[in-house]
Structure 1
């Protein structure tokens, strides 16, 4: 899927908390704008949920887009301490950030653009500790769909998999 994703982001606004310049694509700001944009029309979304193979799908109105897209927003890598923690690979149509260190939760972000507009965002997060391992694959195509795939293995309890997809 990463091969399908393509884009870059030129703006480098200041980080509000510290006044420092944003080094990478501002995921947090982007999804704040998307939350505002998606809240206004209040249209229905075809939402499907798959939990360990149990599937359900229905049309719903999302009342809190900030909560719905929270995993995307939390994948922000623009912390001043992380300014040298990601490699950047960019072309005219895409930019990919890859974590240099295994302890970083956000492993990679790929952002695609066409004609100056974001067309896709793909994120992979990974958390490992002595109690559990969690992997998240997040995909967002503005105006088309968002998808959250999460695999979690808790040492004593076993594994869980979730897949949430919302189609606009």
Structure 2
């Protein structure tokens, strides 16, 4: 009987030790980038701020949607969630720690051009055109390719004016699928 009690006590000690070790292993700080850690243009921060501004403004948009070059449908829409509407832009943010050396930066007269240096980066090129520190135009080219499909995406955003999402996806055995979304702000 004594050996049974000893075995149970040892089992409890082992379980307690394993629980403590797993708890300690999970207690590590989250890695967050501050605004000072951004090496490139903070696209995600800009789109989030602009989305909040547009949500407050209750802007009506003439939105045109075309799928596979069919007849385009156009109608006026009041967008209530600009963050979702412009999510393709914020998803193209290149400020990830692993991509710190993944892009070349070229300063031109009124714009900055970011070009991917590694072929596996989705955002291949991003051009931020500015005038007196205000963003005038954002143009992004995304490209993804794997064994099943290939996707090409062109995103253009003129704040307070127009946004365009042009996406072409070519799926093996199923063919190509293209959609274009254009919003003209009033």
TM-score interval (norm. to shorter): 0.7 to 0.9
> CA offset at residue 24 of structure 1?
0.1
- Which has the larger share of helix? 2
> CA offset at residue 93 of structure 1?
1.4
Query: Match for residue 17 of structure 1?
Result: 32
Moved over 2 A (4+): none
Q: Who wins on radius of gyration, i.e. which is larger?
A: 2
Instruction: Specify the SS of the correspondent of 2:37.
Output: coil
* 1:4-153 equivalent positions in 2, closer than 5 A: 17-19=32-34, 21-54=37-70, 55-153=72-170
Query: Match for residue 179 of structure 2?
Result: 162
> CA offset at residue 156 of structure 1?
1.7
Unaligned runs of 5+ in 1: 1-15
Unaligned runs of 5+ in 2: 1-30
What is the aligned residue count? 153
> Whose relative contact order is higher, 1 or 2, with alpha carbons under 8 Å and at least 6 apart?
1
- Which has the larger share of strand? 1
Question: How far apart are the structure 2 equivalents of 1:39 and 1:69?
Answer: 12
